[in-house]
């Protein structure tokens, strides 16, 4: 039987705030409310949204400490981590000052937070990776040699954690296919309805300037082009513009590639049929205003925006991968990279009657939300009795 951990340290060096960070915070806040635990969170100081949420949790609890760090994950971080022994040593020293019983590395992909993952193992702490997807280097990398190198390096990282916590069974299967021998526990993403409110459609559309005759499709999430597929969607719109009539495409979010996205739209002359809107903590108006959510990602975990759109009774058209393939009906899926398939799918869904599938999806979502308690599953995966 595992020793009951008392001091728990979360580590995230994500420069962006997304769905995986939201779920990690839910687990962290839940554990902070459990008696007899000492909770600690080390984060990248430039992630302002994560910092604000951590400060909110800390200010409500007397057993929470947070620590800013100057280190952030970047491109090719899996390789850079191996070339940064001084950074690993510095992070290890910060870990030892906390002296945790267990370290939870919050990893959007295996290279994210790899500095903390390696530091924890070098310090000899029990190390858990909370990860939403097993990275597919052939999809996320360019060229032929780079994916081979990245896969070889990633194999090293996949061998480091003592345990993994994942949001869905398909992620567990992907990790097993990569040769992971460590224990893999499920903590399925639960769905919190408290922050979502259905608004009057006309008022919400007026807020964003959507016209009555427009069919509005939104891509919602951080602007990370290589992962989320913004470039593929822009190319598809440009290539098939003559077939898209009164469709309007809206990009909602912020991130490192926002300027690049704006340039792509301008270069393709798509300003009249697209819009870029800033991220809002409450997306109720967005969901109330749009007609469809689109997720053209190259790889994903189990996106929260998909579940939110289902709650708002919207059709969700997506790449036939990962959490979308596991959740959505086949009629709503297309093969990534197939712009013809994307356009055909959104057109068919619009012209058909998706109400039956929408109702079924929402019923399944609500049943899962009642049956699955993410926070309790997460705590159990750490060996904590609540």
The verdict on 133 and 212 lying in the same domain is no
- pLDDT value of position 34: 87
Q: What is the mean pLDDT of the chain?
A: 91
pLDDT above 50: residue 2: no
Higher per-residue confidence, 366 vs 213: 213
- Residue 172 dihedral angles phi and psi, to the nearest 5°: -60, -45
139 part of a folded domain: yes
Which of 72-86, 195-209, 345-359, 366-380 is predicted with the least confidence, judged by mean pLDDT? 366-380
- pLDDT value of position 162: 97
Q: Do residues 350 and 217 make contact, with C-beta atoms less than 8 angstroms apart?
A: no
- pLDDT value of position 3: 58
The verdict on 156 and 226 lying in the same domain is no
- pLDDT value of position 301: 81
Domain of 58, in residue numbers: 7-186
Non-local (6+) Cβ contacts of 185 within 8 A are: 163, 164, 165, 166, 377, 380, 381
Q: Do residues 314 and 290 make contact, with C-beta atoms less than 8 angstroms apart?
A: yes
DSSP letter assigned to residue 299: S
The verdict on 289 and 147 lying in the same domain is no
Percentage of residues in the chain having pLDDT higher than 90: 71
pLDDT digit string, tens, across residues 283-326: 999 999 999 999 999 888 888 899 899 999 999 999 998 889 88
114 part of a folded domain: yes
SS3 311: helix
Higher per-residue confidence, 18 vs 233: 233
The verdict on 95 and 237 lying in the same domain is no
Task: Return the CATH number at 35.
Answer: 3.40.50.2000
pLDDT above 70: residue 140: no
Neighbour count for residue 202 (Cβ, 10 Å): 12
- Residue 348 dihedral angles phi and psi, to the nearest 5°: -65, -40
Domain boundary among the residues 119, 152, 186 is at 186
- pLDDT value of position 4: 66
Q: Do residues 258 and 276 make contact, with C-beta atoms less than 8 angstroms apart?
A: yes
The verdict on 287 and 147 lying in the same domain is no
Domain count within the chain: 2
**pLDDT category, 110, cuts 50, 70, 90?**
very high
Q: Give the bridge partners for 378, in sequence order.
A: none
Helices (H), the chain: 19-32, 48-60, 77-82, 85-98, 114-123, 137-140, 145-158, 169-177, 201-208, 225-228, 230-239, 258-267, 284-289, 304-311, 322-327, 339-351, 355-371, 374-381
Q: Give the bridge partners for 325, in sequence order.
A: none
Question: Residues 199, 203, 206, 212: is their CA dihedral positive or negative?
Answer: positive
The verdict on 297 and 339 lying in the same domain is yes
1 part of a folded domain: no
Q: Which H helix or E strand runs over 196?
A: none
pLDDT above 60: residue 96: yes
- pLDDT value of position 148: 75
- pLDDT value of position 1: 38
191 part of a folded domain: no
Which of 84-88, 145-149, 206-210, 332-336 is predicted with the least confidence, judged by mean pLDDT? 145-149
β-sheet with 292-295: strand ranges across: 274-277, 247-252, 215-220, 292-295, 316-319, 333-334
The verdict on 215 and 119 lying in the same domain is no
pLDDT digit string, tens, across residues 164-193: 999 988 899 999 999 999 999 999 887 666
Rounded CA-CA distance 241/244 in Å is: 5
pLDDT above 70: residue 370: no
The verdict on 215 and 353 lying in the same domain is yes
The verdict on 205 and 177 lying in the same domain is no
375 part of a folded domain: no
383 part of a folded domain: no
The verdict on 167 and 295 lying in the same domain is no
| pTM reported for the whole predicted model | 0.82
Domain boundary among the residues 133, 156, 186 is at 186
- pLDDT value of position 323: 84
384 part of a folded domain: no
The verdict on 180 and 208 lying in the same domain is no
275 part of a folded domain: yes
pLDDT digit string, tens, across residues 243-286: 999 999 999 998 889 999 999 999 999 999 999 999 888 899 99
- pLDDT value of position 152: 84
The verdict on 79 and 133 lying in the same domain is yes
Domain boundary among the residues 156, 186, 216 is at 186
Reading the block at residue 291, the tokens are 């007609």
Distances (CA, A) of 144 to 138, 214, 297, 300: 8, 42, 21, 22
């Amino acid at each position: 039987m595992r020793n009951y951990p008392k001091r728990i340290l979360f580590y995230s060096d994500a420069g962006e705030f997304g769905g995986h960070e939201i779920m990690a915070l839910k687990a962290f806040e839940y554990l902070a409310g459990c008696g007899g635990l000492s909770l600690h969170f080390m984060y990248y100081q430039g992630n302002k949204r994560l910092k604000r949420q951590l400060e909110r949790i800390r200010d409500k609890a007397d057993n929470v400490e947070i620590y800013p760090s100057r280190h952030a994950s970047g491109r090719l971080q899996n390789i850079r981590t191996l070339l940064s022994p001084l950074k690993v040593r510095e992070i290890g020293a910060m870990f030892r000052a906390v002296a945790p019983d267990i370290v939870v590395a919050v990893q959007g992909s295996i290279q994210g937070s790899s500095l903390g993952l390696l530091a924890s193992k070098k310090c000899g702490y029990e190390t858990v990776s909370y990860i939403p997807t097993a990275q597919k280097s052939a999809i996320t990398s360019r060229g032929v040699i780079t994916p081979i190198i990245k896969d070889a390096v990633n194999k090293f990282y996949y061998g480091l954690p003592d345990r993994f916590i994942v949001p869905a069974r398909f992620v567990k299967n992907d990790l097993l296919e990569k040769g992971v021998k460590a224990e893999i526990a499920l903590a399925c993403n639960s769905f919190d309805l408290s922050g979502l409110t259905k608004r009057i459609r006309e008022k919400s559309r007026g807020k964003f300037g959507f016209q009555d005759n427009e069919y509005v499709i939104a891509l919602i999430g951080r602007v990370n082009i290589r992962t989320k597929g913004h470039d593929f969607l822009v190319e598809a719109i440009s290539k098939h513009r003559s077939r898209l009539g009164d469709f309007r495409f809206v990009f909602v979010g912020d991130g490192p590639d926002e300027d690049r996205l704006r340039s792509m739209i301008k270069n393709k002359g798509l300003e009249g049929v697209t819009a870029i809107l800033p991220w809002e903590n409450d997306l109720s108006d967005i969901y109330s205003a749009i007609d469809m959510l689109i997720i053209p990602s190259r790889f994903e975990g189990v996106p929260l925006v998909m579940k939110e759109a289902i709650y708002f009774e919207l059709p969700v058209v997506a790449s036939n991968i990962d959490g979308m393939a596991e959740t959505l009906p086949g009629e709503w899926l297309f093969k990534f990279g197939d712009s013809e398939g994307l356009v055909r799918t959104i057109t068919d869904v619009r012209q058909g009657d998706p109400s039956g599938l929408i109702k079924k999806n929402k019923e399944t979502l609500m049943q899962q939300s009642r049956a699955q308690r993410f926070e309790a599953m997460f705590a159990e995966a750490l060996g904590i009795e609540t």
